[in-house]
Structures are given as C-alpha cells and as structure tokens.
Homo-oligomer: A and B are copies of this chain.
Amino acid sequence: MQRVFEALSSPIRRKILAYLAHTDLTAGEIAARFEISKPAVSQHLTVLENAGLVTSEKKGQYVHYSLAPENLTNTLNSYVQEVCPVAKPLKNESAAIRRKRAPD
C-alpha cells in the first residue's frame, strides 16, 4: 500500500506505467522514451517492481518489463472504498465497459 502510493507519486513512474499499459518493453526501450539517464530509469523501475506494479523477466541480455495491473487496480480500488465507501465508484464510461463484461 505505502509502496504503491509512493511509486505513483512520481510523474515519470506513472508515465512508465502508461507505456507498459500498451505493451511490454525492455529497460532500454523504456529509457529511450525519457530524457534522463538509463540508471535513473532503472531506479524508477526498481521502485515500481518493489511496489508490485511491474514485473521483469530477463531474456538473454535484455530485461523485459510488464505491467502488473492487478496490484494497482486492487490497491487503488480498495483504498477508494476504504476512504469513500459511499462515493459513486466509477464514471459512466467505465461503468459501461463493465456492463459488457460478465459480472462474476
């Protein structure tokens, strides 16, 4: 919980998550999308991984990073429910998406 919110407090880290939401990327591919140094990006990736928001897998000399969406979703939704139990949980558009899925 703490690590998740700490990880999300950085704009760069949120941007990394946004990239990974579209597709997996290697460390180098992620670093190429920012103007800061590779070690700096690597440190951000470590923070995200320690928060359980991304996973990494070494393939040869590359390290592939993937989004771990469940932890982010679960943490934020749980927190919203904890602090705002009576709040309208979602915007209409997302509610519409949800209706198309099988409710379990």
Interface residues of A (CB under 8 A from B): 2, 5-6, 8-9, 11, 14, 17-18, 21, 67, 69-70, 72-74, 76-95, 97-98, 101, 103-104
Contact = CB atoms under 8 A, between A and B. Distances in A.
Contacts of A14: 5, 79, 83
A87 B88 CA distance: 18
Q: Is the interface of A mostly helix, strand, loop or mixed?
A: helix
Contacts of A17: 83
Given A87-B69, A101-B88, A82 B8 contact: no
Contact of A89 (B18, B86, B89): B89
A81 B77 contact: no
